[in-house]
Amino acid sequence: MALLGDAVALARKDVVAEIRARDALPAAATLGATGLVLVALAVGPDVGRMRLLAPALVGVVLAFATVTLADRLDSIDRADDALVALWFALDDPRAIFAGRVISLSASLTTLELGLWLAAATLLDLRPGAGALLLVPLAVASSVSRAAVAALVTSLVGGSPHRALLAPALLLPMLVPTLLAGVQAASAVLAGGQGVQWTAVLVAESLLFLGVGLITYGEAAGPA
């Protein structure tokens, strides 16, 4: 219970810092919006084609935004050796990982829902009642992305090569979530429920969370 309490407190700290500074999420949202506009421009004024591409487009944009958001949150903790202080102050350092997953999941869910709204407006998507299904889907995929991103950024965070390493390590590891997320969203937009793929996303989330909780205390730690 101490782990969960500490994790929630650390996540709250991240969220409050983000609300006050307003830098990571707006930067990721700008990146996302730019991605949408650039691909739409590159593909051309064919709304039908863009509608088909929408789930993949949102998924790819979210993968890149995850790298930006996770790296930003990790670098805030590393400034002024705050991470070292946290590591030694907490009963269980894994609370840092769990807290990061919670705050990152919140940011990514907000971003994903915002991107779906933008995609619906710009690409004339009409999910109808299925739009509500995009909410649990966004939560499940965000937790999965957040868990793997929190672990990977903690591994490379102390490295002088972090700018190169974070995307190189993280993007291939986001592929399982990308695949399941795109399949689930495509099913929802086609009028289905995408239950099977959402279940895959939940399984991936649990797997990444499990591996993260097992390894974080052993592998991450201050450099």
> In the complex with other proteins, which residue's Cβ is closer, 125 or 182?
182
Would you tell me how many other CB atoms lie within 10 Å of the CB of residue 133?
A: 20
C-alpha pair distances (Å), 112 with each of 42, 68, 134? 22, 14, 9
148 binds other proteins (CB under 8 A): yes
Q: Which is nearer to other proteins, 27 or 203 (by Cβ)?
A: 203
Residues in the interface with other proteins (CB under 8 A) total 28
Residue 152 contacts residue 173 (beta carbons within 8 Å): yes
159 forms part of the interface with other proteins (CB under 8 A): yes
Closest distance of CB 183 from other proteins, Å: 9
What is the C-alpha to C-alpha distance for residues 69 and 29, in angstroms, rounded to an integer?
A: 10
Q: How far is CA 16 from CA 19, 106, 149, 223, in A?
A: 5, 12, 20, 26
CB of 99 within 8 A of CB of 14? Answer: yes
29 vs 62 by CB, closer to other proteins: 62
Stretch 183-222: interaction string toward other proteins, x if CB under 8 A: ------------------------xx--x---xx-xxxx-
For CA atoms 73, 74, 78, 83, give the dihedral sign. positive
Tokens 């002024």 appear where?
80
* Closest distance to other proteins from the beta carbon of 127 (Å): 23
Least distance CB 171 / other proteins (angstroms): 8
Residues making contact with other proteins (CB under 8 A): 148, 151-152, 155-156, 159-161, 164-165, 168-169, 171-173, 175-176, 179, 207-208, 211, 215-216, 218-221, 223
